Amino acid sequence: MKWNELHSDACPVARGLSVIGDRWTMLVVRECFLGIRRFDAMQSRLGITRHVLADRLRTLEADGVLRREAYQDRPVRYEYRLTDRGKALYPILVSLIDWANAHVPLEGESAVTLLSRSTNQPIAPMLIDRNTGEDITTRTVRAVMNEPVPPQDG
Amino acid sequence: MKWNELHSDACPVARGLSVIGDRWTMLVVRECFLGIRRFDAMQSRLGITRHVLADRLRTLEADGVLRREAYQDRPVRYEYRLTDRGKALYPILVSLIDWANAHVPLEGESAVTLLSRSTNQPIAPMLIDRNTGEDITTRTVRAVMNEPVPPQDG
DNA sequence: CATATAGAGTTCCCTTTTGGAACTTATTGG
DNA sequence: CCAATAAGTTCCAAAAGGGAACTCTATATG
């Protein structure tokens, strides 16, 4: 199977990754969340090749995660902004930051910390179920597949 | 810059993605969360090439996300299980599923749904700050960088 | 004995993607 | 005229991915 065929896979993990699971893609999204909107700024900050950046921006736009907007004419130049679909990636990004800060240590402290705007203290992200208020863990939640699949447990 | 250099990047997004941001990697992790532990089972379920699967398993083990365990001798055969570090990826996976179910639609219903074990109803994942109880959004949280944004030469 | 199955990989070869650097195009400013 | 800005493209070599066959240990079958 080829990577590109995942887009129509039955599993949402596969479909999600077909959009954001490519090398560099989530880093481009990170730039957008940080307010970086322009090609050259992204390129020099990320150290990605222009070639690949152009491809990622095109793909993210096609998938409705970013939208391209002219910010000047003569010559016309475009910048990239998150759509609502793109903004909805925030929980993934926050969970990733939290995981990496805890589990992919770097000498010295982490260069990005998330602070609560109300307390100015670092946040401790936690996933809960809006319906029940319960913490979401492998013990409180189970995955059901519409097609049957072998046993489970982590 | 090359992808592999991200591992020592200052940004936790980059460091996190250096571990799980490769093609196929999170799909392998998904299999583990579903209780699939063996090479051949993963290979046939994912449709990934054996070649790439072997590489991903090696890398995930090296990064401490999976551990390889012999489940029989003569001939010795190994299976793969999530470590604590791997289990800590659950919020990322759940957020990804939630995002894809909402934003990467498929004809027909999604093949994987997450149900609360207490109510048997689909869950509605929501990220909150354990400290304040506040919902985590771009409006309630801000990212601060310890070092001023790297302008490529530093 | 020969053969078949099981299961975790490896090897080989070809195609696709990525990395690096230079080039293009439109326009302003000296 | 020449340089600068900025969003891309183009070209080529290197790395990663896809497909299929093969290895290696051991059990089971005829």
Tell me, yes or no, whether A131 and A62 share the same domain: no
Q: Is B139 inside any structural domain? A: no
b/e burial code for range B19-51 (CB count within 10 A of at least 16 → b): bbbbebbbbbbbbbbbebbebeebbebbebeee
Q: Is B131 inside any structural domain? A: no
Which residues of chain A neighbour B56 with C-beta distances below 8 Å?
none
| Structural domains of chain B, count | 1
pLDDT single digits (tens) A101-120? 999 988 777 788 999 999 99
Which residues of chain A neighbour B144 with C-beta distances below 8 Å?
112-115
Question: What is the mean pLDDT of the segment spanning A5-32?
Answer: 95
Neighbours of B148 (CB within 10 A): 8
Tell me, yes or no, whether A80 and A135 share the same domain: no
pLDDT score at A147: 54
**Bond prior to B75 in cis (omega within 30° of 0):** yes
**Structural domain range at position A9:** 3-86
Question: What is the mean pLDDT of the segment spanning A117-134?
Answer: 97
pLDDT single digits (tens) B35-75? 999 999 999 999 999 999 999 999 999 999 999 999 998 89
Tell me, yes or no, whether A58 and A14 share the same domain: yes
Percent of chain B with pLDDT over 70: 95
pLDDT at B131 over 80: yes
Considering A43, A59, A86, which residue would you say is the last residue of a domain? A86
A126 touching B, CB under 8 A?
yes
Question: What is the mean pLDDT of the segment spanning A64-71?
Answer: 97
Q: Is B111 inside any structural domain? A: no
The Cα-based distances of B72 to A113, B69, B77 in angstroms read 45, 9, 6
Tell me, yes or no, whether A42 and A108 share the same domain: no
- Whether B70 CB is under 7 Å from strand C: no
Q: Give the gap in angstroms from C-alpha A101 to the nearest C-alpha of chain B.
A: 6
CA-to-CA distance for B136 and A100, rounded, in angstroms?
Answer: 18
The CATH number of the domain holding residue B23 is 1.10.10.10
Nearest nucleotide (CA of A54 to C1') = D8
B52 touching A, CB under 8 A?
no
Q: Give the gap in angstroms from C-alpha A18 to the nearest C-alpha of chain B.
A: 9
Tell me, yes or no, whether A79 and A14 share the same domain: yes
Tell me, yes or no, whether A70 and A106 share the same domain: no
Tell me, yes or no, whether A18 and A69 share the same domain: yes
Tell me, yes or no, whether A47 and A71 share the same domain: yes
Q: Give the gap in angstroms from C-alpha A66 to the nearest C-alpha of chain B.
A: 13
Nearest nucleotide (CA of B58 to C1') = C9
